[in-house]
Amino acid sequence: MQLGTCRSDITLMPVSGKALPMRRGETMRLTQVQGYQCVDFNCFNLHDYKERMSVGHMRAQGFRVGEGHLVVSTPPHSRPMLAITHMKETCVSDLLGARCDATMGEREYGLVPRTNCQDTFAEAIREYGLTADDVHDSFNMWMNTCWGHSYRILPNVGPAGDYVDLLALMDVLAVPIVCGSGDLGQISNFCFKPIQVKLFEASDESNRRVTEILERCGSPDDKPAQPAGRILSDRPLTARPDYQPKFKAYPIASTDIEVALDSDELAGLRSALNDVGDTDGERVRAAFMLWYRHNRMRRHWNSPAGLRE
């Protein structure tokens, strides 16, 4: 699809996010800068913040969504908000995993203060007068998961340059963030990486695409019947001119640690963890974190009554 002029180009550094107004017909492009970074996403009606994205109702399209699927809003609104117009298979999406909060790092690893998606979302939307209570379950992009009797996170497979396009079907406040737990698990291959965010103005072709989608799915201007009462619509979102971001544990600091491996150990490392890093350093970190998770992590949700098995 031919996009309009790029009106904004920012890079989200670990572990930050940004609330960005989008007008109908505009496109947001999220791009992997270095690769293998999970992105969490929230979305609000720009003119009524109580109407927001519903991950639960998006699951009607499948536990994974992809190109051609929709971001939809909460009942009683139940309207299309965004369309996914570009998403390759390397961007494995997830609608099952809830956004992480501080408990993962604080309870399981003893890390205080701890980066996390809940706090990053809350800080990003604070610019528009919203609070931590307005954060909702996230649409997770580049989050490779599997499920059956249990739910597991697999290595991230999104390479550098991989991108997702989201087309606005109504005026929204779109909130992408860099996932805050990527360094502790395979969700971002035990590392934090930046994400590029571009906004493109509406074009003739994007406006035609919006019209086609809404003719098929229903216009955001259509209000469903409200047997329980009237929907208020006087809660617009506007940016605070004095806002200065204060993300938790930002900026991320790292320290290099030398690890000596002989040729056999190095060969074994590359063979066992070839899919979780591009460098030997990344593989060493992954090997340590996998060992730590198995032998030292304090589990609190994965066993009965929160007790360690």
Express each pLDDT in 258-295 by its tens digit: 988 888 888 888 888 887 778 888 888 888 888 877 77
The span from the CA of 59 to the CA of 36, in Å, is 24
Q: Is 161 left (phi over 0), alpha (psi -120 to 50) or beta?
A: left
pLDDT at 228 over 80: no
Alpha-carbon torsion angle 213, 216, 221, 226, nearest 10: -140
Encoded tokens for 274: 């070839």
H/E element, 265: helix 263-272
Report pTM.
0.84
Encode 100-123: b = buried (16+ Cβ within 10 Å), e = exposed. bbbebbebbbeeeebbbbbbbbbb
pLDDT at 223 over 90: no
- Average confidence (pLDDT) over 238-255: 89
Q: What is the pLDDT of residue 308?
A: 35
The dihedral through the CA atoms of 204, 205, 208, 209 has a sign that is negative
Q: What is the pLDDT of residue 241?
A: 92
Distances, alpha carbon 98 to alpha carbons 1, 26, 143, in Å = 32, 28, 11
Domain coordinates of the chain in residue numbers?
6-220, 255-309
- Average confidence (pLDDT) over 114-128: 95
Q: What is the pLDDT of residue 292?
A: 79
For residue 125, name the pLDDT band (cuts at 50, 70, 90). very high
Q: What is the pLDDT of residue 92?
A: 94
Q: What is the pLDDT of residue 255?
A: 87
Alpha-carbon torsion angle 143, 52, 120, 151, nearest 10: -30
The span from the CA of 12 to the CA of 29, in Å, is 13
Range in 46-60, 87-101, 273-287, 290-304 the model is least confident about: 290-304
Q: What is the pLDDT of residue 306?
A: 41
Alpha helices, H only, 67-220: 103-109, 117-126, 204-217
**Which one is predicted more confidently, 235 or 2?**
2
Encoded tokens for 168: 């606005």
The span from the CA of 17 to the CA of 173, in Å, is 13
Q: pLDDT averaged over the chain?
A: 88
Q: What is the pLDDT of residue 232?
A: 57
